[in-house]
Amino acid sequence: MLRVLRNRRTRGYVIQAAVLAASLLLTLSFVLTARDNLVSQGIATGFGFLDRSTGWPINFSIIEATDRSPYSRMLLAGFLNTILVGLAGLACATCVGLAVGLMRVSSNLILNVLGTVFVETFRNVPLILQVIFWYAILTHMPSPRAAIDLAGLGFLSNRGLMLAAPAWSALDLAIIALSIIAALFAAHRFGGTRPLAPWGLALAGIVALSVVLLFLGHEPEMPLISLPELRGLRFVGGVTIKPEFSALLIAIMAFGGAYIGEIVRGGFLSVDKGRLEAARALGLSNAQINRFIRIPLAIRAMLPALTNQYVWLMKATTLGIAIGYPDYFMVVSTSINQSGQTMELLLLLMVGFLLINYTISGTMNWINGRLAIKGRS
C-alpha cells in the first residue's frame, strides 16, 4: 500500500480517486438526510408548488402580484424588483462616481477636498448601515397631511415620494416608440457628413413627431400627466416611490458612487504620462487631449474593475431585506418560510443570481472586447 503512495503517478490517481469518492459520499449523505427530513415533515419535493398561490402579499412590484398570485409570479416580481433597483442603482452610482472621480483628479484643490471627503465618508461605513440610516430618515418625514411640497410636481412624506407621472396608454407608448425610430432612421439617412447634424435632426424629429401624433391620436378627456393629489389621509394619482426603494437606491448610489469614484480616479491616473506629453508636444489643446486621448484610455483601463464593482452592487441589492424592500432574496426567503420548499427555492435563488452575474460580466466583457486596444497581448 505504502509503495503505491511513494510513486508520484499512482499517488496522483489515488488522491484523486479518494477526493472524488469523499465528495460523492458527502453529497449522497446530504441528499439522504434531506430526503428523510422532507418525508418526516410531509413536504413534497419538486417544483409543483410554483403553481400554488402564496397567500401573502408584497408591498412593491412592477408587475401584477397580489396575495392570490402563484409562487411563480411572486418570484418573478421579486426578481424584477432586484433588477429594477439594481439597474437604477448602477446608473446613479456611475453618474455619481464619474462626478466624484473627476473631482478627485481635478487640479482644483477644493474639488479635490470635496471628492475625498465624499469617498472616505461613504466607503468606510458598511452598506447595510447606510441603508438602515437612509430608511430611518425617510420614514421620519412628516405624514402625508403635512408633506413637503416640491413645487407642485411632487410631495415628500413618510409614505414615500409622490411624483407627477405620465399617464400614457399602450397606444401612446407605441406612437412615441415609432416616432423615435422614424426620426433616427431619417437622421441616419439624410444626416449627411457633418458631425452634429444627425443628432440634431434626430432630436428635432422625435420631439416634433411625438407632439403631433400624440395630439392627433388623443382622446380629449384623458390627461397626459397624472398629478398626485391629497385626498383625506393619502395621496392618489401620480407615481409613488416607496421609501424602501428610495433608501436602498440612495445608499447604493452613495456607496457605489464612492467606489466607482476611486475606479474612475484609478483609470485616469493609469494613463501613461508619456502619451499625454506627446500629445502636448503635438500641439493639441487641453480639451482635445482630454477628449481624444485621456478619456478613451482611462475608460479602457477602468473596465475590468468596473465590471467587478457592478457585479458586486447587483448582489448588494439583497440588503433590501433589512428594510423590507421585496427583492428576489426576500421573496425567496419568505417563500421558504411559508412553503418549506427549501432546496428548490434555494436552487432558484442561486440560478437567478448566477444569471444576473453572467449577464453583467458578459455584457461588460463584450464592451471590453469591442473597445480593447489591439495588440500582441
Partner 1 sequence: MPGGALSRPPPAMAGRLHQLRKRLFSNWFDGIVTLLAGAALVSIVVNLVDWAFLNAVWSEADVSQCREVSGACWSVIDARGRLVLFGLYPFDQHWRSTLACLIIVITMILSCLPALWGIKRLSALWIAGFGTFVVLMYGGIFGLSVVTTEQWGGLSLTVFIFAGVIVLGMPMAVGLALARRSKLPVIHWLAAIFIDTVRSLPLLTILFAAAVVVPFVVPQWAQGDKLGRVVVAFAIFYAAYQAEIIRAGIQSIPSGQEEAAQALGMNYRSVVLDIILPQAFRNTLPSTINQVVITFKETSIVTIIGFFDVTASASAAVGRGEWGAYYIEIYVFVALIYFVFVFGLSRYGAYLERRTRLHHG
Partner 2 sequence: MADLAVRIRGVNKRFGDFDALKSIDLNVASGERVVICGPSGSGKSTLIRCINRLEVHDTGSIEVEGVELSDDDDAIRDVRREVGMVFQDFNLFPHLTTLENCTLPRIRVRGALRAEAEALARQELTRMRIAEQAEKYPDELSGGQQQRVAIARALCLQPRIMLFDEPTSALDPEMIGEVLDAMVALAEDGMTMICVTHEMGFARKVADRVVFMADGRIVEEGPPDTFFDAPREDATRHFLDQILGA
Which residues in this chain contact partner 2 in the complex, by CB under 8 A? Answer: 6-11
Report residue 241 as a C-alpha cell. Answer: 416611490
Phi, psi (deg, nearest 5) at residue 14: -60, -45
CA distance 148 to 154: 9
Could you say which of partner 1, partner 2, none residue 7 binds, taking C-beta under 5 to 8 angstroms by partner kind?
partner 2
Nearer to partner 1, 28 or 197 (CB): 28
Q: How far is the CB of 6 from partner 2 (least distance, A)?
A: 4
- 79's CB contacts (< 8 A; 6+ apart) are 328, 331, 352
CA distance 277 to 283: 10
Phi, psi (deg, nearest 5) at residue 70: -70, 165
Under the binding rule (CB under 8 A), the answer on residue 319 touching partner 1 is yes
Could you say which of partner 1, partner 2, none residue 10 binds, taking C-beta under 5 to 8 angstroms by partner kind?
partner 2
Under the binding rule (CB under 8 A), the answer on residue 87 touching partner 1 is no
Under the binding rule (CB under 8 A), the answer on residue 16 touching partner 1 is yes
Residue of the chain from 4, 25, 34, 208 that contacts partner 1 (CB under 8 A): 34
- 211's CB contacts (< 8 A; 6+ apart) are none
Q: Closest Cα to residue 159, out of 140, 180, 186, 133?
A: 140
Q: How far is the CB of 204 from partner 1 (least distance, A)?
A: 30
Residue 340: CB atoms within 10 Å: 14
Helix (H, G, I), strand (E, B) or coil at 329: helix
Q: How far is the CB of 189 from partner 1 (least distance, A)?
A: 39
- Contact between 131 and 193 (Cβ < 8 Å): no
Under the binding rule (CB under 8 A), the answer on residue 305 touching partner 1 is no
Helix (H, G, I), strand (E, B) or coil at 129: helix
Under the binding rule (CB under 8 A), the answer on residue 357 touching partner 1 is yes
Nearer to partner 1, 113 or 371 (CB): 113
Phi and psi based region of residue 237 (left: phi greater than 0; alpha: psi -120 to 50; beta: remaining): left
Residue of the chain from 164, 180, 289, 343 that contacts partner 1 (CB under 8 A): 343
How far does the chain reach from its first CA to its final CA, in angstroms?
A: 48
Could you say which of partner 1, partner 2, none residue 158 binds, taking C-beta under 5 to 8 angstroms by partner kind?
none
Under the binding rule (CB under 8 A), the answer on residue 363 touching partner 1 is no
Instruction: Please give the residue ranges that form the binding site for partner 1 (CB under 8 A).
Output: 12, 15-16, 19-20, 23, 30-31, 33-34, 37, 107-111, 113-114, 120, 124-129, 132-133, 136-137, 140, 311, 315-316, 318-319, 321-322, 329, 333, 336, 342-343, 346, 349-350, 353-354, 357-358
